[in-house]
Structure 1
Amino acid sequence: MSDTTATVQLAKAGPEYGVGVYRDITEWAATTPDWMQSAGEIGTELGILVFVALFAVQWWRARTRDDRSMAQALLAPAAVVVVYGLSEIIKIWLHEERPCRDIPNVRTIAECPAPGDWAFPSNHSVIAAASAATLLVTWRLVAAFALPLAVLVALSRVYVGVHYLHDVAAGALLGLVLAPPAPAGRAGPRHLGRRPAATTPGTETGVGRRAPSSIPPGSRGRTPRDRVAPLTQHEEWS
């Protein structure tokens, strides 16, 4: 079964079992402190901007590195955009209504999106998971930060009341599976783009190499007559 087929089946079956979980989460969220609700509403959008900033820093670092690093720095956000576009196509195809509009008598932290802004899959989850996955294969130093951030962004969509849990699960699945292959591929040998090491004149190898001199070191600058070996005492009197 393909990932796309599994995602479609999850979308069709989702509301049948997702309503109870959604109500439990939103009812609990309504009892949380005001500061936590504000953090959830702000953080659900701010997390995406953090990933954008990480991609910008990765590109900045790649400017002084090899060609492969630059290629990965460009392919990573490009892959995220492509997967996001796919999630939009799935949204339009399936037309799953937002739970905050479809389920009566629910209290949400965030304002329910306008009609026609479908629920499945969660675009925030797609972007967060795809960003974390591509950073994992191209800049592992930030993976310990990016992966937990992606989880928080995804879960915050249910916490603020604008998605079912299966919406964010499907979005995360799409991002994790489809985004990493492009930047993970070999974009080129690492040595491309590096400046050749400086060489001392006369030490080149291959074409243009200076031929070794047959003149003894102590004889340079002397005329052929001066380089005649001195006569021995026997030769002087013979």
Structure 2
Amino acid sequence: MGTIDSDLYRGITDFAHDTPSWFQHLMEVWTELGLLLFAVLFVVAWWRARGNDPRAFAVAVLAPLATAVAYVISEVVKSGIDEERPCRAVSGALPSLIDCPVYGDWSFPSNHATIAAAAAVGLALAWPKVGWFTVPMAILMAFSRVFVGVHYPHDVAVGLLLGTLVAFLVVRLLTRPGARVTEAMRGSGNGLVRWFAGPGPAGAGDGSTPGARSRRGSHRR
């Protein structure tokens, strides 16, 4: 691994060991707690979108899907690049604050950073007002992986870029077909499917598509 990256890793882990124990524990917990918080926000975003137009609902549902896709891609890349964890590979570094992952659980890229970035961007696209919160969340989660000593800085930087790119691509490519699926779900005869997709915006009547309502109107005439 490059000297600059290893030096930066040692600098961050040295700083981590100089922080108060309560802050160290907070950063240790944050690496996992952040994922739980993103999951909660996914549910809230979906619930809000049930009363919105089909495209908005599609984006809300695509946000967690994009996160899952980003995770899978990250795992595929990780399995092909056998980069040892810095907590074993960097000489002269202080011990990691959490247990160093087992040999074979490679370091590049950071799954946590990838998931965090994809979730943050997906949520910001579905619910723009939370972007000011989710994006710093993702960056802090990525930093925490270096802070606790289990990733190099470049691992989390690439993870953030990968998650961001995948989220944008998934939402951009699938929003239109997702909106069509949403319209079909809102007009479905299955009550559970209609409940999941929601009633749509106020004034949408019985939730059927505009085309269906127009056809019913023509039959009455």
The SS at the match of 1:101 is helix
Q: Is the 8 A contact 1:27 1:107 kept in 2?
A: no
Of residues 69, 93, 96, the one that matches 2:56 is 69
More helix by share: 2
**Are 2:142 and 1:154 aligned?**
yes
**2:40 pairs with 1:49:** no
Bigger radius of gyration among the two:
1
Distance 2:205 2:47 in 1: 23
2:10 — aligned with what? 23
- Whether the aligned pair in 1 keeps the contact of 2:74 and 2:114 (CA below 8 Å) is yes
- Residues 120-155 of structure 1 show CA distances to partners (whole Å, capped at 9, x for unaligned) of 000010001111111121110211110110110010
The answer (yes or no) to whether the contact 1:62–1:73 under 8 Å persists in 2 is yes
TM-score normalised according to structure 2 size: 0.78
Alpha-carbon distance between aligned partners in 2 of 1:45 and 1:101, rounded to the nearest angstrom: 22
| Whole-angstrom distance in 2 between the partners of 1:77 and 1:132 | 10
Q: 1:159 to 1:206 in 2, by over 3 A?
A: same
Q: How large is the Cα RMSD of the aligned pairs? A: 2.3
Aligned match of 1:143: 131
Tell me which stretches of 4 or more aligned residues in structure 1 moved more than 6 Å.
none
| Code of the aligned partner of 2:62 | L
Aligned equivalents of 1:196 and 1:79: distance in 2?
31
Residue pair 2:145, 2:156 contacting (<8 A) in 1 also: yes
CA distance in 2 between counterparts of 1:149 and 1:169 reads 14
| Residues 76-91 of structure 1: pairs in structure 2 closer than 5 A | 76-91=63-78
Q: Structure 1 residue 100 and structure 2 residue 81: aligned?
A: no
Q: Report matched runs for 1:1-238 at 5 Å.
A: 14-105=1-92, 106-184=94-172, 185-186=175-176, 187-188=178-179, 192=183, 193=186, 194=200, 195-196=204-205, 208-209=220-221
State the aligned residue count: 190
Q: Deviations over 1:92-146 (max 9, x none)?
A: 1011000001123422212111111110000010001111111121110211110
Q: Which runs of 5 or more structure 2 residues have no equivalent in the other structure?
A: 187-199, 207-215
TM-score by length of 1: 0.73
Measure, in 2, the Cα distance between the counterparts of 1:156 and 1:119.
14
> Residue 30 of structure 1 contacts residue 108 of structure 1 at CA under 8 Å; is this kept in 2?
no
